[in-house]
Amino acid sequence: MRNALSNEMMEALKVQLICHEGLTCVPQINETGELTIGVGRKLYQTGISEIEAEQMLERDLAVLLTAMKQDLPIFHQLSEARKQVLLNMAFTINIDGLKKLKKLLAALCIEDFTLAANEILDSNWILGNKDRKAELSMLMKAG
């Protein structure tokens, strides 16, 4: 009894399923009302594995890091800990949201990290998560 398909048959099956199911990189509702992504992956039924979640996170962080290096000149001058803070924030509010925090960026430009830390606490960049704000504020200040 065969347990697996040949590589050629597996490739043919993948092409066939992409044709039948479609391929989408953003969640969508399929014809039966189920939320799917990729090639017919039912998010509520199957979800994603921890490995897939970590792979997605690593890719998202790599893209974000590249964008931060290009779009935020002050980023290059910061310690790794302070870069981590900005990446953490931008992960949630994107770079455009981070750029709106003018007082925070101005404080970084003059290397006033206490003021920058206070701006993290005082701004409304994330609502309802005081612990996260406090942690990032302390990390910004300590550098």
Count CA within 13 A, CB hemisphere, residue 81.
11
Helices (H) and strands (E) in the chain, counts: 6, 3
Q: Same domain for 65 and 131?
A: yes
Q: Same domain for 23 and 78?
A: no
pLDDT in tens, 6-63: 999 999 999 999 999 999 999 999 889 999 999 999 999 999 999 999 999 999 999 9
Whether the model clears a pTM of 0.75, i.e. scores above it, the answer is yes
Q: How high is the pLDDT of residue 2?
A: 59
Residue 48 lies in a domain: no
Residue 1 lies in a domain: no
Instruction: Count the neighbouring beta carbons within 10 Å of the beta carbon of residue 125.
Output: 20
Q: How high is the pLDDT of residue 3?
A: 64
Residue 50 lies in a domain: no
Strands 24-29 and 35-38: antiparallel
Instruction: Count the neighbouring beta carbons within 10 Å of the beta carbon of residue 82.
Output: 22
Q: How many domains does one find in the chain?
A: 2
Q: Same domain for 72 and 135?
A: yes
Which residue range is the domain that position 110 belongs to?
Answer: 57-142
